Amino acid sequence: MTDANNRARAANLALLNLLGEAFPLGIPVELWDGSEVMLGPEPRHASLRLHLRDPGFLPGLVRRPRLDTILRGHARGAIDLSGGTVLDLAALRPSEKPGRILKRIGLFRLARAALGLLRVKGSTHAAGFDGQGRPLVRAEAKENAVDIPFHYDLSNEFYQLFLDSRMVYTCAYFAEWHDDLERAQLDKIEMICRKLRLRPGDTLLDIGCGWGALLIHAARHHGVRGYGVTLSPAQIEEGRRRVEEAGLADRVTLDLKPYEAVQGQFDKIASIGMYEHVGFKAHDAYFTAVNRLLKPGGLYLHHAITRRGRRSEKAFHRMRPEYSAMTSYIFPGGEVDHIGHSTTQLEAHGFEVHDIEGWRPHYARTTALWCQRLHARRAEAEAMIGPERTRIWLAYLGGVSLAFSRGSLNLFQTLASKKKREGDALALNVPPSRGDLYR
């Protein structure tokens, strides 16, 4: 081993030993040369293991201590996990705040370890990603535009690795905290149908229909005529196949079309996990279009991820690192609002808000199950989309689950109706009780 390699190994070990003292996770770290160091005095997980495959990763992180440095390194495999997911790793984290732990360790010891790493050549950029951490595959996407095919057209087969059999790629609904994703997604679809008070003969528009699961269920079990739109060619192809297979081609139509181009009016409209792709600049146009497409008195179900509101809009729009990473790596151009903004927009565009229901813990559980299912089929995913993207997706699903668990992300279902007056009074568009929803 050369002197440079010896220095790199010693510098990495110095910081790892210090981290093991500060954060005794109780898992081994396997170095690039096959040797191991334990983070903490004793093992705390039977199979979880960190892999540090590049001696330049920690030096690069010291030079650029940002989340996207970690994500780029993780994408190219400089640092990786085996034997578990990021959720397993997070479960081992001490409850004490990191700042207090690091203060107890001492700034001098931290600075000495960091100085040793600064003498080692660092590496921060991952193959397949540009200098800002953005996927190179997105280079041709329009500036500030949401690139739907980038996210959804990885392949239908990829999503089948971790979604339920209906391919529902939105938050499930758990009547109790079980792990049956099939049941939870079916319960979610049925809950949406109940909230919309679907009746035989209703026309239902699904904006961002995905692979068609909601419309297929609503037509089969509630007698509606369904129309869905998406911007994903892969979703349209598979969704139409599923409609044909269900024998519902005469009652359900799926189109590759933006919501702005939809014509006519519908009794009910659902937007499930699509609004996040619209972007703040297009919110006015979006709600104007929904109002145009909904019949007077019709019901609209708005199901969307939000972030916590802040004391000012300026403070709200400051991007935290994890949110910036999500919109750079997974949802290019996507933006998430707060529930106050959503309800304000609805009321400003001629809707009456009836119900707002928080589903935050439901999405925490949904994304955790997705992460576990994808991890179980990691080798298949790598063969389909490559190791880089697979690692990013595992980190994304696990990280999003943690964000929902900790409350930095929320999800709300908001039921509203297009205002309709009877005489001088607003028409009542929902029953006086919601007891029927939870029977």
| Residue 368: inside a domain | yes
Amino acid at 5: N
Distance between CA atoms of residues 333 and 331, nearest Å: 6
| Residue 127: inside a domain | no
Q: Look at residue 331 in the predicted model and tell me its pLDDT.
A: 60
Q: For the chain, what is the radius of gyration of the CA atoms?
A: 24
Query: From residue 439, how far is each of 180, 185, 219, 244 by CA, in Å?
Result: 20, 17, 21, 32
- What is the tens place of the pLDDT at every residue in 247-302? 999 999 999 999 999 999 999 999 999 999 998 999 999 999 999 999 999 999 99
Question: What share of the chain has pLDDT > 90, as a percent?
Answer: 66
Q: Look at residue 131 in the predicted model and tell me its pLDDT.
A: 40
Q: Look at residue 109 in the predicted model and tell me its pLDDT.
A: 86
Residues 98 and 187 in one domain: no
Residues 288 and 356 in one domain: yes
Residues 333 and 246 in one domain: yes
Range of the domain at 257: 148-438
Q: Measuring CA to CA, which residue among 162, 86, 170 is closest to residue 411?
A: 170
Residues 73 and 164 in one domain: no
Q: Look at residue 124 in the predicted model and tell me its pLDDT.
A: 52
Among the three residues 68, 101, 118, which one is the final residue of a domain in this structure? 118
Pairing type for strands 49-52 and 36-39 reads unpaired
| Residue 134: inside a domain | no
| Residue 135: inside a domain | no
Comparing 62 with 303, the larger pLDDT belongs to: 303
- What is the tens place of the pLDDT at every residue in 115-141? 888 888 776 554 444 443 445 444 333
Residues 350 and 422 in one domain: yes
| Residue 142: inside a domain | no
Residues 322 and 372 in one domain: yes
- What is the tens place of the pLDDT at every residue in 294-329? 999 999 999 999 998 888 888 887 777 666 666 666
> Is 0.85 topped by the overall pTM?
yes
Query: From residue 393, how far is each of 26, 148, 232, 318 by CA, in Å?
Result: 25, 16, 19, 24
The average confidence (pLDDT) of the chain is: 89
Question: What share of the chain has pLDDT > 70, as a percent?
Answer: 90
Say yes or no to pLDDT of 187 above 90. Answer: yes
Q: Look at residue 145 in the predicted model and tell me its pLDDT.
A: 44
CATH no. for residue 394?
3.40.50.150
Q: Measuring CA to CA, which residue among 325, 337, 232 is closest to residue 275?
A: 337
Give the number of other CB atoms < 10 A from CB of residue 28. Answer: 18
Residues 208 and 293 in one domain: yes
For residue 296, give every residue at least 6 positions away whose Cβ sits within 8 Å of its Cβ, in sequence order, or none: 418, 419, 420
Say yes or no to pLDDT of 334 above 90. Answer: no
| Residue 139: inside a domain | no
| Residue 140: inside a domain | no
Residues 112 and 179 in one domain: no
Residues 256 and 112 in one domain: no
Token reading at 112: 């000495």
| Residue 138: inside a domain | no
Is the separation of the CB atoms in 262 and 240 below 8 Å? no
Residues 161 and 42 in one domain: no
Q: Measuring CA to CA, which residue among 277, 332, 268, 266 is closest to residue 304?
A: 277
Q: How many distinct structural domains can be found in the chain?
A: 2
Average confidence (pLDDT) over 180-184? 98
Q: How far is CA 94 from the centre of its chain?
A: 25
Residues 53 and 185 in one domain: no
Residues 152 and 114 in one domain: no
